[in-house]
Structure 1
Amino acid sequence: MIIPIDQLDAQTLNNIIESFVLREGTDYGDYTTDLKEKVAQVKAQLESGEAVIEYSELHETVDIKKKESE
């Protein structure tokens, strides 16, 4: 199930994004990106619709994924 970001409290959205970024690791190539910057990048992807927040009822987990092409 896709969770619209406008239905989430700002702090909840930030916590979901931070959790995702920290789970994904810290290898960003030739340069390092701090947590604040990476969170801003993911939030921008969510706001643009490039990525979505997905809740799995089966696993009771929340994840951020690239929006699938339709």
Structure 2
Amino acid sequence: MEIPYTELSGDALRGVIEEFISREGTDYGHQEFGLDKKIAAVMRQLQAREIILTFDAETESCNLLRVK
């Protein structure tokens, strides 16, 4: 089920984003980006609805999914 990312506290959203970033791998081209820049990039994608926040009631977990 999709949930508005604005419904999470700042700390909770940051935790979901950090977990998402850690699963995305480390290929950032010729340049490495710090964690804060990666978090800002994910926030921009959330605001642009390029990715959405979902909640799975069965596993009681949140996830970020890329919109196709």
What is the TM-score when the length of structure 1 is the normalising length?
Answer: 0.81
3-state SS of paired residue (2:52) = strand
- Name the CA distance, whole Å, in 2 between partners of 1:10 and 1:61: 17
The CA RMSD measured in Å over matched residues stands at: 1.5
Alignment-derived partner of residue 63 in structure 1? 63
Alignment-derived partner of residue 16 in structure 1? 16
- Name the CA distance, whole Å, in 2 between partners of 1:61 and 1:12: 11
Report the more deviating stretch, 56-65 or 13-22. 56-65
Report the more deviating stretch, 20-29 or 58-67. 58-67
Q: Which runs of 5+ in 1 are unaligned?
A: none
Q: How many residues are matched? A: 68
Percent identity between matched residues is 34
Q: Which runs of 5+ in 2 are unaligned?
A: none
Letter in 2 for 1:7: E
1:30 aligns with 2:23: no
- Name the CA distance, whole Å, in 2 between partners of 1:61 and 1:9: 15
